[in-house]
Chains A and B, each alone.
Chain A
Amino acid sequence: MTTLLATPAGWPQILLARARKAAPVGSPGSATATGPFAGLRIAIERLGPEGTIRAIEQSGLRGRGGAGFPTGTKWRKAAATEASRRYVVANGYGADPAVSIDQVLMERDPFGLLEGVAIAAYAIGASEAVIAVRAEYAEAARGLEAAILAAEAAGFLGADILSSGVDLTVTVRTVQGAYMLGEETVLLKALEGKRGQPEQRPPHPAERGMFGQPTVVQNIATLIAVPWILVNGAEAWRAIGTPDAPGTVLVQVSGAAANGIAEVPTGTTLAQIIDLAGGVVPGRRVKAVLVGGPSGGLLPATALDTPYDFGPLRAAGAHVGSGSIVVADERTCVVDLARLLTAFCADEACGKTIPCRIGTRRIAEIGDRVTSGRPRPTDLQLLADLSHDVVASALCDHERLATLPYASAMRYFRSELDDHVLRSSCPAGVCRPIAVAGVAAGY
Chain B
Amino acid sequence: MSFIPGIGIAKGMALTLLRFFQPKVTIRYPEVAADVSPKFRGRLQLLYDEWGTLKCETCFQCAQACPIECIDMGGTDTKGRYHVHWGAAETYGERRDESALRRSGRPVPDEAYSHDQPMNLEAVDAILAAYDHDPGSMLQILGDVQDTYGYLPVAALKRISTSTGAWYAMIYGTASYYRHLRFDPPGQSVGICRCTSCLISGGGRIQEALERGLRASLGKTPLSGGIRLEQLPNHVAGASSPLVMVAGEPVALTPETAEPWARGLAPQSGTRAQA
A interface residue numbers (CB < 8 A to B) = 1-2, 94, 96-98, 100, 103, 134-136, 175-178, 190, 192-197, 211, 254-256, 259, 290, 293-294, 296, 324, 326, 328, 332, 336-337, 339-341, 343-344, 347, 350, 430
Tell me whether B233 and A196 are in contact (CB under 8 A): no
B83 interfacial contact with A, CB 8 Å = no
Evaluate contact between A255 and B200: CB separation under 8 angstroms.
Answer: yes
Contact A340 B204 (CB under 8 A): yes
Structural contact, B178 and A337, CB atoms closer than 8 A: no
Let me know if B199 is at the binding interface, CB within 8 A: yes
- B41: shortest Cβ distance to chain A, in Å? 14
In this assembly, does B225 line the interface, its C-beta being within 8 Å of a C-beta of chain A? no
The residue from A192, A293, A324, A347 contacting B218, defined by CB atoms under 8 A apart: A347
Given A136-B234, A193-B136, A196-B178, A97 and B204 contact (CB-CB distance below 8 Å): no
Residue numbers in A under 8 Å from B197 (CB-CB) = 98, 254-255, 259, 326
4 residue pairs, one from A and one from B, having the closest CB atoms: A177-B178, A193-B138, A98-B195, A97-B195
Question: Known contacts A97-B232, A97-B233, A347-B218; is A337 also within 8 Å of B174 by CB?
Answer: no
Do B233 and A193 touch across chains, with their CB atoms under 8 A apart?
no
How close is B105's CB to chain A, nearest CB, in angstroms? Answer: 23
Instruction: Give which listed residue, B138, B204, B235, contacts A194 with CB less than 8 A.
Output: B138
Instruction: Tell me the smallest distance from the CB of B60 to a CB of chain A, in Å.
Output: 15
A211 x B177 contact (CB < 8 A): no
Contact B200 A135 (CB under 8 A): no
Whether A328 touches B237, Cβ cut-off 8 Å, given contacts A177-B178, A177-B181, A350-B177, is no
Interface size class, chain B: 35 or more
Taking the complex as formed, is B179 at the interface, i.e. its CB lies under 8 A from any CB of chain A?
yes
Q: Can you sample 21 A-B contacts with CB below 8 Å?
A: A97-B193, A97-B194, A98-B195, A134-B233, A175-B139, A177-B178, A178-B177, A193-B139, A194-B174, A195-B170, A211-B136, A254-B197, A256-B200, A290-B196, A290-B200, A326-B200, A328-B200, A337-B199, A340-B199, A344-B199, A430-B205
The interface bits of chain B over 169-213 (1 if a CB of A lies within 8 angstroms of the residue's CB, else 0) are: 010011001111100000000000111111111011100000000
Kindly supply a per-residue 1/0 record for chain B positions 127-159, scoring 1 wherever the CB is within 8 Å of any chain A CB and 0 otherwise.
Answer: 000000001111111000000000000000000
Q: Which B residues are within 8 Å of any A CB, using their own CB?
A: 135-141, 170, 173-174, 177-181, 193-201, 203-205, 218-219, 231-235, 237-238
**Among B136, B138, B200, B232, contact of A337 (Cβ-Cβ < 8 Å):** B200
**Closest beta carbon of chain B to A256's beta carbon, Å:** 8
The answer for the CA separation of A324 and B198 in the assembled complex, in Å, is 13
> What's the nearest-Cβ distance from chain A to residue B175, in Å?
9
Q: A412 to B139, alpha carbons, bound, how many Å?
A: 43
Interface centre among A2, A97, A176, A324 (most CB of B within 10 A): A97
Chain A residues with CB below 8 A from B199, complex form = 294, 337, 340-341, 344
Q: In whole Å, how far is A345's beta carbon from the nearest beta carbon of chain B?
A: 11
How long is the Cα–Cα vector from A88 to B234 in the complex, in angstroms?
Answer: 26
Q: Smallest distance from the beta carbon of B132 to chain A beta carbons, Å?
A: 12
A176 and B180 within 8 A (CB): yes
B235: chain A residues at CB < 8 Å are 97-98
Q: In the bound complex, how far is the Cα of B231 from the Cα of A430, in angstroms?
A: 23
Q: Are A254 and B136 in contact (CB under 8 A)?
A: no
Q: Which residues of chain A are near B174, meaning CB under 8 Å?
A: 193-195
Kindly provide the distance from the CB of A349 to the nearest chain B CB, expressed in whole angstroms.
11
Query: Smallest distance from the beta carbon of A184 to chain B beta carbons, Å?
Result: 17
Q: Is the CB of A347 within 8 A of B219?
A: yes
B196 contacts which of A98, A336, A347 (Cβ < 8 Å)? Answer: A98
